[in-house]
Amino acid sequence: MDNWRNMAIWFEQIPDNLQSHINLKKEKFNEIQLENIQYLTLWHHKKNKLGNFIGFPENLLYLELNWSNIQDFLCIEKMNKLKRLELHNCTKLKNDFGLSGLADTLEHLHINQSKKFVPNEEIFSLRNLRVLCLNSCGNLENLHFLNQFPNLIDFRFVDTNVLDGDLTPILDHPTIRSVGFLNKRHYNIKDDKMDALLKEKNGGEEFETVIKYGNYETCRYIY
């Protein structure tokens, strides 16, 4: 199931036998029960002496970690079908060690509220990325690294500071069409101007399609 491609995932559309949501402060992690899971959301996951992702299902398409204490991504390579990875409030995350193990598969990466995290060499191997969110992360020296992601469509860095203030690499990138950030005095392009310029990019061709579910709607990118 490719629900992971939607910007907002409606989990009620996913069969119960393919998803699991576990608060590890209240429940235990049961590797056997989870072996066929494709969508996994965890709260309060803690790494152990054997590694960060011991016992995780290997067939995962989507993994979301909330308040995990991981510092890096070592041992994540065994989840070699993973398409979307989200981390929220993982405040101890420092570096991208191990992320290159997902170079062949990962298309969406969301890192939110990890102030110690700054992208390094391994994240640059994720050349299939379409969505990259680095919200409330460590300072970025500049945005020159964006050219490492030749297929990127959506880049978000809300509450993450770009030190040199130059946002033109977003416009220079051949495929980025959507962006999210907070205006800062030293930035050379404001958000409203950026949105207008991106809308005109590539001849204004359509880059997303609307997905509806009852009274709700979201989008997925065309590629």
- Taking CA atoms, 6 is separated from 22, 75, 157, in Å, by 22, 27, 19
Both tokens assigned to 127: 């050349």
| pLDDT exceeds cutoff 90 at 77 | yes
Residue span of the structural domain in which 114 resides: 3-221
Structural domain count, the chain: 1
* pLDDT band at 143; cut points 50, 70, 90: very high
Is residue 136 within 8 A of residue 160, CB to CB? The reply is: yes
Q: What is the pTM of this model?
A: 0.97
Both tokens assigned to 207: 């880059």
- CATH number assigned to the domain comprising residue 175: 3.80.10.10
C-alpha dihedral (191, 85, 94, 162), degrees to nearest 10 = -10
Is residue 101 within 8 A of residue 77, CB to CB? The reply is: yes
Lowest mean pLDDT, pick from 54-58, 100-104, 143-147 = 54-58
Cα torsion angle, 170, 176, 178, 180, sign: negative
**Average pLDDT rounded to a whole number, residues 188-203:** 96
